[in-house]
């Protein structure tokens, strides 16, 4: 008697600096997931090998693999334009010869049927996968996904996704996307200088440190949380973060500088939160003026968003806490939320 094979779904979010995947099988209730360091601009030729290697971990004679992809790596400067980036990634997926579908604004497309006519709504639509999933559970909500590089605002009201975003450009123009994150964002993108005790400390416009170092120093993120590479390639110990931030201000670290550095880091944090909150207030005025709403925090910086909401009196839900109560180890799924939800929405759209 033949045994009907069970299906293992793998959701993939192909980014410029990381490949995120999440696997779920019909045969059990275990969820596997990982975030792979992958500098797409220099390593892109190995994409199909990565997909095949990960897929092989879950492949056996009783299983049927189904891959679901979303992406933002098409914007990397190794491509002449984003359309060619999308085509390249799709061709690499096809090369694996594994059953695969690509997420678009209009649903999933079998990778074999992808062509230049339907690539327009493929690149950088990973946020829309999150929006579709959340729209099934929440109403009158602004989801703020503070990731390593960007901050996405997802707008849900009266059962509809209100976002006007069709690209990074329109997302920025409509204030639905901020290019600021809690890990890879360089300090000089936030401020030019900070005053401390009547002295100006200028921030050097060089990639000596990032906001990951700031949040390590302020204990808002911890070593185990950070999945991005540091500016100097060393680990995210507190002492290394102090050293990197010191370089950004033009001096060497020693213990006597701790108080100064803590002050500088607090000011950088305050500026980033000010920028995020100002953007949020614009969207609230535009879409939720006079009506009740709540905030959902997503991504690596969900707890940072939580603090912002508490300080401003916003009603808040942390997706980390929601996932933790429903899925064993689920709080980490927030870090790769689009990859996780692709598996869930594949049966719904």
Reported as a single tens digit per residue, the pLDDT across 226-253 is: 999 999 999 999 999 999 999 999 999 9
Backbone angles phi, psi at 339, to 5 degrees: -65, -40
Residue the block writes with tokens 């600096």 = 17
Give the per-residue pLDDT at 315.
Answer: 96
Q: Which helix (H) or strand (E) holds 154?
A: strand 151-157
Cα 252 to the center of its chain, rounded Å: 32
Q: Where in the chain is the domain with CATH 3.30.420.40?
A: 6-124
Give residue-wise pLDDT tens across range 283-338.
999 999 999 999 999 999 999 999 999 999 999 998 888 888 778 767 789 999 99
Q: Where in the chain is the domain with CATH 3.30.420.190?
A: 139-332
Core vs surface per residue 185-210: b (16+ CB within 10 A) or e: bbbbbbbeebeeeeeebebeeeebbb
Rounded to two decimals, the pTM is 0.94
Average pLDDT in the chain = 94
Q: Is the pLDDT of residue 75 over 60?
A: yes
Give the per-residue pLDDT at 327.
Answer: 80
Give residue-wise pLDDT tens across range 106-124.
899 999 988 766 677 899 9
Give residue-wise pLDDT tens across range 145-168.
999 999 999 999 998 999 999 999
Q: Is 181 left (phi over 0), alpha (psi -120 to 50) or beta?
A: beta
Instruction: Look at domain 6-124 and name its CATH class.
Output: alpha beta
Q: Which CATH number fits domain 139-332: 3.30.1600.10, 3.30.420.190, 1.10.20.10, 3.30.70.1090?
A: 3.30.420.190
**From CA 70, how far away is CA 29, in angstroms rounded?**
23
Q: Is the pLDDT of residue 43 over 90?
A: yes
């Amino acid at each position: 008697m033949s045994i009907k094979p069970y299906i293992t779904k793998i959701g993939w979010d192909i980014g410029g600096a990381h490949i995120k995947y999440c696997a779920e099988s019909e045969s059990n209730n275990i969820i596997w997931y990982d975030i792979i360091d992958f500098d797409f601009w220099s390593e892109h030729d190995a994409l199909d090998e990565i997909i095949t290697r990960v897929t092989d971990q879950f492949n056996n004679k009783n299983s049927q693999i189904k891959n679901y992809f979303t992406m933002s790596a098409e914007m990397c400067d190794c491509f002449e334009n984003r359309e060619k980036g999308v085509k390249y990634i799709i061709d690499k997926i096809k090369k694996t010869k594994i059953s695969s579908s690509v997420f678009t604004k209009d649903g999933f497309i079998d990778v074999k049927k992808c062509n230049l006519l339907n690539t327009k709504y493929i690149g950088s639509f990973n946020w829309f996968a999150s929006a579709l999933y959340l729209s099934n559970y929440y109403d009158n909500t602004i989801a703020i996904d503070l990731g390593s590089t960007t901050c996405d605002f997802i707008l849900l009201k009266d059962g509809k996704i209100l976002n006007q975003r069709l690209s990074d450009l329109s997302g920025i123009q409509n204030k639905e996307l901020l290019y600021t994150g809690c890990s890879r964002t360089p300090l000089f993108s936030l401020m030019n200088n900070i005053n401390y005790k009547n002295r100006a400390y200028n921030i050097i416009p060089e990639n000596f440190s990032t906001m990951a170092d700031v949040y390590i120093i302020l204990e808002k993120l911890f070593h185990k949380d950070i999945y991005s590479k540091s500016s100097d390639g060393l680990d995210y110990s507190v002492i290394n973060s102090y050293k990197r931030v010191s370089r950004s201000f033009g001096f060497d670290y020693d213990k006597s500088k701790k108080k100064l550095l803590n002050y500088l880091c607090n000011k950088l944090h305050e500026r980033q939160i000010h920028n995020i909150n100002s953007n949020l207030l614009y969207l609230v005025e535009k879409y939720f003026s006079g009506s009740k709403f709540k905030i959902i925090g997503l991504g690596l910086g969900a707890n940072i968003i939580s603090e912002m909401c508490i300080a401003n009196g916003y009603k808040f839900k942390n997706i980390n806490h929601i996932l933790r109560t429903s899925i064993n180890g689920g709080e980490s799924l927030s870090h790769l939320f689009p990859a996780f939800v692709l598996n869930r929405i594949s049966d719904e759209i």
